[in-house]
Amino acid sequence: MSWKGAIVDWFDAYGAIGLAAMSFSESIIQPVPPDLMFIPMLVTAEGSSSLIIWLWLVITITSVLGSLVGYWIGKKWGRTLFNRFKAERHLKKIEALTQRYGTFGIFIAAFSPIPYKVFGWAAGMGEMKIKPFVIAGLIGRGLRFGLEALLIGIYGSKAVEGMEWLLDREVFIGIALALVIVATWLGIRWWNGLTPDPNIHE
């Protein structure tokens, strides 16, 4: 058994409480993504919409709550953490996203494969405003985990193999998410830029 499997098994022994603890701690410093526990729980809950929604709420809310602790830690010891975990490359990506896209960049970072703990550290170190940080986290994490819940709700256990394959290949997730986000952003920009032409009269 791998060390990741051992961590997942330990948390899994406590059911939904274990999922909450794993999600919460992963947003602070724990290295194993809660998806590895969340996805099998979704498969077990297949056919029970209320249980699937409950698990989605648990993992989303506790992930964001954990990120607030990560935010505080980043504010106190951010640079030390980035040096210790060699996460400077992620910091540069987050800085570029927020500089280029503002609040929308915060959402992209929360939804992307960038480790969420690193996002929290960076937000705290940069003293990002709490309100957009939390809102972006709730939307980004909610969509990420909600997409997993939706896929399993529709396709059941058949969706698991594909998800596990993607979790082992984060670059493909990054490319797919980037394409979706860019397409959405371009669509919104196009829509907002639509203005009536004063030279055209009915």
User: Which of residues 124 and 189 earns the better pLDDT score?
Assistant: 124
Given a cut of 50, whether residue 194 has pLDDT beyond it is: no
Both structure tokens of 169: 């290949």
pLDDT tens by residue, 89-111: 667 767 666 666 666 766 776 76
DSSP structure string for 159-201? HHHHHHHHHT-HHHHHHHHHHHHHHHHHHHHHHHT----TT--
- Quick one: pLDDT at residue 167? 58
Going by C-alpha positions, the residue among 54, 67, 11 that lies closest to residue 34 is 11
Query: Does this model's pTM top 0.85?
Result: no
pLDDT-wise least confident of 38-42, 81-85, 116-120, 181-185: 181-185
| Position 19 confidence tier, pLDDT thresholds 50, 70, 90 | very high
Residue position matching structure tokens 């051992």: 6
d(CA 155, CA 93): 34
- Quick one: pLDDT at residue 140? 84
Given a cut of 50, whether residue 201 has pLDDT beyond it is: no
Residue pair 176/45 in contact by the 8 Å Cβ criterion: no
Burial class (CB in 10 A: 0-12, 13-18, 19+), 166: middle
pLDDT tens by residue, 73-88: 888 887 777 777 666 6
- Quick one: pLDDT at residue 85? 67
Going by C-alpha positions, the residue among 59, 178, 32 that lies closest to residue 115 is 32
Residue pair 27/100 in contact by the 8 Å Cβ criterion: no
Q: Residue range 16-27: average pLDDT?
A: 93
Residue 145's identity, in one-letter code, is: F
